[in-house]
Amino acid sequence: MKQGTIVLLVVVGLALLVVFGIFIGPYNGMVSRSQNTSQMWSNVETQYQRRNDLYSTVMATIKGSAKFEQQTLTEVIDARSKATSITVDASKLTPESVKQFEQAQDGFKSSFGRLMAIAEQYPDLKTTAAFQDFQTQQEGTENRINKARQDFNDVVKEYNTYIMTFPHNIVANMYGFTSKGYFQAQAGTDKVPNVSF
């Protein structure tokens, strides 16, 4: 083989290594980070399912109280139905889909809070074992949801940063990797609540 042919093959080989290094490494990194966000999303959904199961138990207890206000209970059941009907494809966690999911969950939690406020007026209900067990588990459940949401936001930040930095952004655009949505605070939570006694 001629020396010129060998040099050409070496140059072409090095060029291929550089091209593969520029595209394959970032692509694999994006796939890995995307899978991490999907896994963390699954963890978030698991914690919301835990809340749903816990709330369903106490709702059945409340429903058993014949004197209880049925309209409020119906509103909670409707909000629960809406919250559980929202499904988000973990591979397409757009800011809009995460916000829609979060709004449905917040609606359920809010209506359930109204139900609990009314339940406080029923002393017989408050003494049932299921109701007392619920009160014990509720705080832990909300803490788990908060932790899962924080963990999810952390991996979304890592993923979004990775696909937006150069040269990864070129590969991301070529293969359709797009930014994923974060969980965000509800509107108005940045204001200090007015508490008066």
Question: Per-residue pLDDT tens for 118-171?
Answer: 777 776 666 666 677 777 788 888 899 999 999 999 999 999 999 999 889 999
Using CA atoms of 72, 75, 79, 81 in order, give the dihedral in degrees to the nearest 10.
Answer: 110
pLDDT at 29: 92
pLDDT at 186: 66
Go through the domains of the chain in sequence order and give each one's CATH number: 37-175 (1.20.1440.20)
| Average pLDDT score over residue span 12-38 | 86
**36 pLDDT tier (thresholds 50, 70, 90):** very high
Specify whether the CB–CB gap between 184 and 178 falls below 8 A: no
pLDDT at 74: 78
CA distance 93 to 71: 35
Q: Which residue has the higher pLDDT, 151 or 89?
A: 151
Question: Per-residue pLDDT tens for 171-197?
Answer: 999 999 999 999 887 665 555 545 443
The DSSP result for the chain, as a single string, is --HHHHHHHHHHHHHHHHHHHHHHHHHHHHHHHHHHHHHHHHHHHHHHHHHHHHHHHHHHHHHT-TTS-HHHHHHHHHHHHHHHH----GGG--HHHHHHHHHHHHHHHHHHHHHHHHHTT-HHHHTSHHHHHHHHHHHHHHHHHHHHHHHHHHHHHHHHHHHHSTTHHHHHHHHT----PPP-PPTTTTSPP----
pLDDT at 133: 77
pLDDT at 85: 83
